[in-house]
Amino acid sequence: MFDINGGELLIIVVLAVLLIGPERLPGYAAQLASLVKRGKRLLQDTKARVDTELGPEFKDVDWSKLDPRQYDPRRIVREALMDDDDETPSPARAAAPAAAAGGAAGSAGTASPAEPRVTAPAPFDDEAT
């Protein structure tokens, strides 16, 4: 957030000791500690109030899944394309095993009754598109 490394933090602390002075530094440190404690308490109270306002049905919600920074369009498209629908197989997937079995059956000279024979190409209506 602030992009401060260890060396820069040490310089800030030394400057604070020199500018504020050793007499007033413990008072400012105590004020900073009380500010941090109040902020932490405020966040805990706010979280508790939100939980009570939303009710018990929202306790099981994984809010990290709703973070917009986690959405990657490439991953979403990849998952959608790789998703296999078992209810409606595509014609290319259905034709591949039939073609492989048909080639083996054609060499034997007999076709199994489960394999449909395609003698003509499928009709195409150029006015429908």
pTM of the model as a whole? 0.40
What digits encode the pLDDT tens for the residues 51-78? 889 888 887 888 788 888 888 888 888 8
Q: Delimit the domains of the chain by residue range.
A: 6-70
What digits encode the pLDDT tens for the residues 74-116? 888 888 888 766 555 555 555 545 444 444 444 444 555 566 6
Element (H, E) at 117: none
Residue 16 CA: distances (Å) to CA of 19, 22, 108, 122: 5, 9, 92, 83
50: exposed, middle or buried (Cβ count in 10 Å: 0-12, 13-18, 19+): exposed
CB 101 within 8 A of CB 112: yes
Residue 41 CA: distances (Å) to CA of 30, 35, 47, 59: 16, 10, 10, 21
- Whole-angstrom distance, CA of residue 55 vs CA of residue 52: 5
SS3 call for 126? coil
Number of helices (H), then strands (E), belonging to the chain: the values are 4, 0
Q: Can you give the three-state secondary structure of 21-40, one letter per residue?
A: CCCCHHHHHHHHHHHHHHHH
pLDDT at site 85 = 62
